[in-house]
Amino acid sequence: MSSSEPPASNGSKDEKDVGLPSYSSPADSQEGAIHSDSWATRNGLNLESFKKRGDYDTGVVELERSMKPRHLHMIAIGGSIGAGFFVGSGSALSTGGPATLLIDFLIIGVMMFNVVYALGELAVMYPVSGGFYTYATRFIDPSWGFAMGYNYVLQWAVVVPLELTVCAISISYWNQEVSSGVWITVFYVFIIIVNVFGTLGYAEEEFWASILKLSATVIFMIICLICVLGGGPADGRYSEYYGARLWYDPGAFVNGFKGFCAVFVTAAFSFSGTELVGLAAAEARNPAKALPGAIKQVFWRITLFYILGLTFVGLLIPSNDTHLLNATSSNDVTASPFVLVGQYAGLPGFDHFMNFIILVSVVSIGMSGVYGGSRTLTALSQQGYAPKIFSYVDRSGRPLFSVGLLLAFGLLAYINLAAAGPDIFDWLLALSGLAALFTWGSICLSHIRFRHAWAYHGHTLDEIPFKAIGGVYGSYLGVILIVLVLIAQFYVAIAPPGQDELNDAAGFFMSYLALPVVILFWVIGYAWKRTGWLRTSQIDVDTGRREVDWEEINAYRAHLASLPAWRRILNIVF
């Protein structure tokens, strides 16, 4: 550690009095795992790779650090683009209209911008796997951290079978003769095979899948621009100037204020997984260098892909389109506006191309579910919040039993084949509907409490290697927006759009089940650990901090300060 940084304190003695989990110093662990094992063992391709890692011990989880900057960048910019964006946007359009679709996604985008930057600041300083849970435990309340850890595991555990089901629905667009169970099995086996390769398998799959998703979205937007201007084929709907006619008829807003509130949950689900870049940073070779650049990519995904892409959707697909209104579920790919544009434009094959992209996206999110859930479960086990068996990491760096449990949840996809399957699955889906909002709120609150404790212990902002653009105020804005979205969804759960009467109990909990589940997890955590809200003096901000090259950082900051104002602004978002 450079002399330009003040020596780290030993943390508050009060911390030991409340039963907080321990945090080992980075100085005591390697920056990355160094192996003398063979290439096949390191990549999980022989029986030797399944044995327990010899340098593995309790404390901070040390997984295989094989992710490269290119992996983090693509996970950040394209990793979470999936069924919520490509398919769920159709149901959101029919519920709220094009203006509501745009405004709600923009609000969630502003929220996510602050969430990811707050996460980036924390992840560069304290790069531990399962970071969302450990930050809540460390900076807010160990019982709340317990709740957030299990909430996040459950969120992804439910998403895995959901995405497998949507894979089968995507295939049925081409072939309805073969049973959905066959396609569920095919993609389930594929996800298992990719997970054999551990972190590197997930990283490479996400890298290439993200490139494909982003390229397809760019192609879609170019075609949409041509169609809006009236350059579509003569036998299609967009052969003359289309403009913003759909914002006037059938209208920019549908279902009034209820419709506006209802679309928030779809927008939140569409952004789920954005935070995975912080989780993946713990398995990068040099997070302090790779993560800031990856975080900046989130701005472009929000601006170019979500906002611009959905603007075109609202200009070309009417909110009262029969395909949207008659969709069998929010995962019905025939109701995807991205598929419908190709059909209505008279572009042979384009709808099939977009359906293929949806299929790739859904498989990608399923992979993310196994990755995110297993890493968080491993962190819970390491801190004594889950059975010890889930802390097992093999010689190729895979948290073997944690991955196995998340893959086992994928078997729930077969429930849909039963007569009562869809009803059961709707309840499972309700568990993850709002779960991400609690995770994001915890990240922002952890950042706020970290900053307060950082100042309390005598540190300055100059000692933070990577700072969130909005600072603590950005995190306050994130928390406020999350609370408002939860209130809006509570209102919709009581009084759904499109009906005058109030919702029944089943309908309410179908929309708001995540809240009682989180409260239940918090009660269990409190009963087990008997710890509550941490006072600022109890928060240890020094133990477990990553050592960074302050000479290099200070030289880089001096270089930035010497640049013209326009170059400094560009550096913020590039």
How far apart, in whole angstroms, are the C-alpha atoms of residue 511 and residue 265? 9
Residue 396 has pLDDT above 90, yes or no: no
Tell me the pLDDT tens digit for each residue of 35-82. Answer: 556 655 665 566 666 666 654 444 444 455 556 777 777 777 776 787
Tell whether the model's pLDDT for residue 523 goes beyond 50: yes
**Tokens encoding 64:** 């295989």
> φ, ψ for residue 124 (rounded to 5)?
-70, -35
pLDDT at 573: 65
Whole-angstrom distance, CA of residue 51 vs CA of residue 46: 10
Axis crossing angle, helix 421-432 with helix 142-172, rounded to the nearest 10: 140
Token representation of residue 154: 């459950």
At 419, list the tokens. 């007569």
Q: What is the pLDDT of residue 331?
A: 58
> Running DSSP on this structure, what letter comes out for residue 52?
B
Q: Which band of pLDDT confidence, cut at 50, 70 and 90, is reported for residue 121?
A: confident
- Checking if the pLDDT of 208 tops 70, the result is yes
Residue 245's pLDDT is 92
Q: Is the pTM of this model over 0.95?
A: no
Q: How far, in Å, CA of 429 to CA of 337, rounded?
A: 22
Single-letter amino acid, residue 129:
S
Residue 524 CA to residue 519 CA, distance in Å, equals 9
